[in-house]
Structures are given as C-alpha cells and as structure tokens.
A and B are shown apart, each in its own frame.
Chain A
C-alpha cells in the first residue's frame, strides 16, 4: 500500500513536470513554426510597409535597442548607489531590511502603473510628448529592483575577510568600496542587468503611453517629440488583426524575433548565474 502511494505520487509529479515543460515548449514551438518562414534578411533590415502587411521590422528592432540601452544607462548608477548604501553605509539591520522590502515591493508594481506614471510625469508634466527618454526612464525604474538586488546579493557574497583585510590595511570605507566591493560585484551587476533587460525587452505596457508609436519613427532627434518604434508594441497592435492573412506570417515572425531577443538576454546571464550557484554550493 505504501509502496503504491509512493509510486503514484512519483508518477503524478513527473506528469506535472512533463505538462509544465510541455506547455511551455509547445508555445515556443508554435511561434517558431509560424514565425520561422517570415524571417528573412529583408525582414530584419527593412521597415514596415502597408501597416505591417509587407516590409520588415528593422526600425522596430532599433527602437527596442534604443529603449533598452537608455534604460540600462539610467538604471546602473541608481542601482549601484542603492546597493552601496545598503551594504556599506547603512548600519542598522532594520534600515537595510526596510530598503530591501521597498525594493521587493517595487518589483511587484504592475508595469502599466509605471507606464501611466511615465505618461503623467514625462509625457505631459515635462511636456516631452512621446519620447524615447521617457520610455528609458520608465523601463529603468522597472529594472531597478532586479539589478539592485542582484548587486546586493553579490556584494553580500564577498567574503568578509577581504573587507576586514582592507580595513586592517587602513583603507577608509570609500576606498574599500572602490578597491574591493565594486570589482567583485561586476558580475552581479551584469547578471542582474541582463535579466532585467530581458524583461524590459518584452514589455509593452510601460512604453505604449510613453515612448512608442506604430509607424514612421526612425532615429530619435532630441528628447521632445521623439518616439521610437518597438517590437512589443508592433506585435500588440497587429495582434488585434489576426484575420488578415497578409499580416499573419509577419506577425509571427516579429513575435519570434522578440522571443529570440529575450531568450538571448536571459541566456547571456546564465554562465554568471551558474558560477554563483556553484560557489554557493561549495
């Protein structure tokens, strides 16, 4: 009887795992199968024509890259600042926990809320109109918790003997930061950033009110009134017209490209994460 229960449980959970992985792999397969035929060199290097029915997604890719790059540049100093404050300058464990709690809660904020925040403050309040910078700022805010926490965890992992040795050598806190903590934490910064960028690349809600339009934009000129095209928004708009066969294949192609971009960013973070995992287990 007990043996039976053991066997049944084993079978059931194996099945669950199979279903979970199966659904998710099946999803990727469907996209790859439908979008594959649309991926040609032209598709990637041309611009949209005829409201998506022909042409390619070149400027959409560029737009997404611009948004990601600006988000990264804005986010890094903020994340480093926060992480350093938490590790090196806040002494009370209570205040550290408070900071971490704020970060975790911030991570749970729905992206649409951040998007509307950006709309109110940057698009309307600052009078920028739709702007790539507004998108970058909103995405940076969205990325902040992930990058900061990754950095903090990495900083935590620095063996205290390094810090003690540095202090024993007479270095003050700032010098310890620059000579010990930051060099060791680069990995964490990169990992966290890649993961956060992977999420940011796929998000539509933060940018649809702040930074992106459907057609016509190429490279932004200045800050005001300079929207960009983007992959996720492109897919979102076209997703509502899935009956038009002319658009269909290209739509799936765009989805496949976006998926590939997100996977690539995630995979790039993998080696570093595996290394941390190994170190943690030793």
Chain B
C-alpha cells in the first residue's frame, strides 16, 4: 500500500488526462457513509464527478467491480477465494481504509432486562432456534425476535465467520431479513425482544444496544474502540475500497483523499477506527 504513494507523480499525470470520466462507486452501506461524504467534498472542491450507490452491500460492490460496472467497490469484508474464482481476470486490490466491528445489538427492553453479553454457544443456539426466549439466557421472558442480515451483507459474513468458522459452514436458517445498517437499527429499535447483527458504531446506546461477547472463562469483551483496535473483540472487520489492479484515473483522487488525514477524520466521524488507531 505504501508503494503506490511513490508512484503518485506518475499516476497524477494519467489522472489529469482522465478528468472527464465519471467515477462509479458501489458497495457496503457501512463503508458508504464516510466515502459518500468524501465524494461530496471532492465534488465540491475538485469538481470531480463521483457516483456512489449501495446496491447489494459488500457482495454487490465486489460483483459490480468484477463485472466492470464500477471502478471502485466498497466492502466491509475481505474478498473471498470464491469471489476471485468467479472473476479470474480481475485483480482485486483491497485498500484498507479503516476498521469496524460487528456487534450483536438488542432493543432497549432486552438490555434493560439484564442481557448484556452472550457466549458463542448461546449465539449459535439462538441462530439455530434452539433458544427462542430471552429468559433462557438471563433476561426477562420475551420471545427472541432475531433479524438476520440479508445474504451478501459484509456484516453477516463477519458474523458467520466468527460464529461458525466460515460462512459456508453456517447452517441455513429462515428468519425475517433486514438489509442495510439503517434498516437494521430501525427494526431492532421498534421491536420487543429484538436481536440482530449491526456495525458496532451504529449502536447508539439510546435505541439499540451492543452486547458484549462472553468468553469461556466468563470475561466479557465489549465492542469498544480499545477492544476493537487491539483485536480483543473478535468480530472486527476491515473496511476496504476495492479496485481492479492499481487505482487509476478518477479512482485515484478518491482513494488518496480517504487515506489522507481529512479522509481518515471522516472515518472516525462516522464511528469507525482509523488506520492509525489500529495496533
């Protein structure tokens, strides 16, 4: 990642000639927040033409980059071997721009009912519908309303990766679905006994609350910035901007901006961890 900053002057020349092109960006709703704001700033300051969309989440970002429909993809999960195999001619370049974590969030009534953490086994049991009531995990009697993230969401893949080792090993289940981060928070806040997966920075502690992970020895790790940056909290995930090969043309200014001081401030503003916060 450092090497392309040396190639800057050379690529800058190329960038100048490509100024009329429109930059298309698509992918994860998690990464979208800072990137969309970065795009707005660049549009205003450098008159760049940047289009940002969030169709299909992280998977949508990867597949549209692979199909050549966009120049930059946004993903909150790494590009998998399956993805690379599906697009053998595409050189997926993962540009790390920040870090985030996936939290299990609950509605207010569950939090107030005493449930502040869960073990991995309990989470598995809930996911596979062996536990269906909060009273079985230390809360008040209330039906567990689990909202599963849509297929293709980076958030879900991170969750499945940690809970089952790999998304492929996750059992097939049927729960009501939620799409992006906004919808998830909205639904969980408005439903009794609700539980879902969400980017930890979106858990505002007012409407929805992030549970900690209880380890086998009883210690509870909460998704705080400290725990995420030291990787103590296990469900952390990198935030990526993806390009096909090295960033070229109009993609360059955006990538550079996001990696710059100002761009990283945007990352922090939206609750994620900057690269320099990681240890």
Given A215-B53, A240-B179; A51-B36 close (CB under 8 Å)? yes
A246-269 CB mask vs B (1 if < 8 Å, else 0) is 000000000000000000000000
**How many angstroms from the CA of A241 to the CA of B24 in the assembled complex?**
24
A216 CB within 8 Å of chain B = yes
**How many angstroms from the CA of A240 to the CA of B187 in the assembled complex?**
9
Q: How many residues of B contact A (CB 8 A)?
A: 28
Name the 9 nearest CB pairs between A and B, nearest first: A216-B51, A241-B182, A240-B183, A213-B53, A243-B186, A129-B69, A216-B52, A217-B51, A215-B52
Q: Can you report 27 A-B residue pairs in the complex whose CB atoms are below 8 A from each other?
A: A50-B37, A50-B40, A51-B33, A51-B37, A124-B67, A129-B69, A213-B51, A213-B52, A213-B53, A214-B52, A214-B53, A214-B54, A215-B39, A215-B51, A215-B52, A216-B25, A216-B43, A216-B49, A216-B52, A216-B53, A221-B22, A225-B24, A227-B51, A237-B54, A240-B179, A242-B186, A243-B185
B33-67 CB mask vs A (1 if < 8 Å, else 0) is 10011011001000001111111000000000001
> Which listed residue (A130, A227, A241) contacts B183, Cβ 8 A?
A241
A216 near B39 (CB under 8 angstroms)?
A: yes
B180 near A240 (CB under 8 angstroms)?
A: yes
A206-221 CB mask vs B (1 if < 8 Å, else 0) is 0000000111111001
What residues of chain A lie closer than 8 Å to B185, measured between beta carbons?
Answer: 243
B142 CB within 8 Å of chain A = no
> Which listed residue (A225, A237, A240, A243) contacts B189, Cβ 8 A?
A243
**How many angstroms from the CA of A166 to the CA of B43 in the assembled complex?**
62
B69 near A215 (CB under 8 angstroms)?
A: no
**Residue among A51, A216, A218, A225 with the most chain B CB within 10 A?**
A216
**How many angstroms from the CA of A240 to the CA of B150 in the assembled complex?**
14
Main secondary structure of the interface of B (DSSP, over half): mixed
Main secondary structure of the interface of A (DSSP, over half): loop
CB distance from B208 to the nearest CB of A (A): 9
A278 CB within 8 Å of chain B = no
What residues of chain B lie closer than 8 Å to A124, measured between beta carbons?
Answer: 67
A2-45 CB mask vs B (1 if < 8 Å, else 0) is 00000000000000000000000000000000000000000000
Give chain A's interface residue range (CB within 8 Å of chain B): 20 to 34
B52 near A240 (CB under 8 angstroms)?
A: no
CB distance from A123 to the nearest CB of B (A): 8
When C-beta atoms are compared, the residue in chain B nearest to A217 turns out to be B51
CB distance from B48 to the nearest CB of A (A): 10
Mark out the residues of chain B between 7 and 45 whose CB falls within 8 Å of any chain A CB in the assembled complex. Answer: 22, 24-25, 32-33, 36-37, 39-40, 43
Other 18 A-B pairs with CB < 8 A, given A51-B36, A225-B22 = A50-B37, A51-B37, A124-B67, A213-B51, A213-B52, A214-B53, A215-B36, A215-B52, A216-B25, A216-B39, A216-B43, A216-B50, A216-B51, A218-B49, A225-B24, A240-B180, A242-B186, A243-B189
B133 CB within 8 Å of chain A = no
**How many angstroms from the CA of A241 to the CA of B180 in the assembled complex?**
9
> Which listed residue (A49, A225, A237) contacts B40, Cβ 8 A?
A49
CB distance from A224 to the nearest CB of B (A): 10
**How many angstroms from the CA of A216 to the CA of B254 in the assembled complex?**
14
> Which listed residue (A129, A215, A216, A240) contacts B186, Cβ 8 A?
A240
What residues of chain B lie closer than 8 Å to A240, measured between beta carbons?
Answer: 179-180, 182-183, 186
What residues of chain A lie closer than 8 Å to B207, measured between beta carbons?
Answer: 243
**How many angstroms from the CA of A244 to the CA of B185 in the assembled complex?**
10
When C-beta atoms are compared, the residue in chain A nearest to B207 turns out to be A243
**Residue among B51, B69, B179, B183 with the most chain A CB within 10 A?**
B51
**How many angstroms from the CA of A221 to the CA of B183 in the assembled complex?**
33
> Which listed residue (A129, A217, A244) contacts B182, Cβ 8 A?
A244
What residues of chain B lie closer than 8 Å to A51, measured between beta carbons?
Answer: 32-33, 36-37
**How many angstroms from the CA of A214 to the CA of B52 in the assembled complex?**
7
**How many angstroms from the CA of A29 to the CA of B79 in the assembled complex?**
48
What residues of chain B lie closer than 8 Å to A221, measured between beta carbons?
Answer: 22
